[in-house]
Amino acid sequence: MTLVMGIVNVTPDSFADGGLYARADAAVARGLALASDGADLVDVGGESTRPGAERISLEEEQARVLPVIRELAAHGIGVSIDTMNAATARAAVEAGASIVNDVSGGLADPAMGATVAALDVDFVCMHWRAHSTHMDASDRYDDVVAEVRDELDARVAALVAAGVGEGRIVLDPGLGFAKVTDSNWPLLARMDEWSRGRRVLVGGSRKRFLGAAIARATSASSPDGTTASSLVEAPGPDDREAATIALTALAAAAGAWGVRVHEARGSADAVRVASAWNNAAHAQG
C-alpha cells in the first residue's frame, strides 16, 4: 500500500506553512500529530526549497532538524531527512532518520552518493535542474516525460556508480521544480514511462499546478459599473488540500510507493480507498 509521508518544515519561509513549525517543540508536536493522523513517515526539512528561496548554512540547517529528528525517532516514528547536504544526511541518520530525501537527486552536493552508500539507507532521488532561485526559468522541455526519464536515468547511474544499491533508490519527478504548471501533468499521467518500474514518490501537495487546475472564474464589475468581466482566481496553498487528496488517490491507484503531503488524515484515507479499489479489481481479474 502507498506510504504517506507527512511534511514537517522546520523553517520560517516554506511556501505552505512557513514559520508554523520553526521551533523544535512545535515541529516535534507537528510530527507526532501527523503520525497520529496516519502518516507512515515524517519528512523533516530545515531548508526551504520554495521558488526563490535562498540557501542557508549547513550549521543552521542541522541546528533546525537534528533535535526534531532525535525526538521523533525516540517516539518510534519513522523519519526521513529532506536535505541537499551530505553532512546533514549523515548527521540525520545518526540521529535516527532512515531515509534521505534529496530534492537535487545528489547534484547539489557531490559527496551525497558516497555518503548514502555508506549509510545504506533508502534515497529519494528527485528530478532537479536548478536551485530555487533559478528553477522556474528551467521549465523548458520539448518532451517533459522523455527528458525527465533520461535525466533521472543519469542520476541513478551516477548513484549506483557511487555505491548506492539500485534497490535503495526511490524516484521523484520533482513536481513544481523546474515545472511551473502544465509540465507536471504528463509526468503524473505517464508515471510508468519515466520510472521504469522503480519506486516512485509523488510530492505535489498544495503546489501551484494544483491551484491552476482548480482555479475558478469569478465575476467583477468594471469601474463604471456598466460591464462585467470574468477573472480567474487561483486558490492559495491552504485552499489546495482537497486537490491534494485527489492527487493522492490517483497516485495510490497508479501504484506510487509514497505520497508526500502537508496533512496526513485525508491522504491516508485516500490511500486506503484506492487500495480497497485496487484489491477488488485484482480479485475480479
Residues listed for the chain = 285
Supply 143's cell numbers.
518532451
**Active site members:** 207, 260
- Cβ neighbors of 157 (< 8 A, separation 6 or more) are none
Residue environment code for 29-45, b if the CB has 16+ CB neighbours within 10 A, otherwise e: ebbbbbbebbbbbbbbb
How far is CA 171 from each of CA 57, 65, 175, 201, 257, rounded to the nearest angstrom? 27, 23, 12, 6, 9
Residue 91's φ and ψ, nearest 5 degrees, are: -65, -35
Q: Which pairing describes strands 216-221 and 228-233: parallel, antiparallel, or unpaired? A: antiparallel
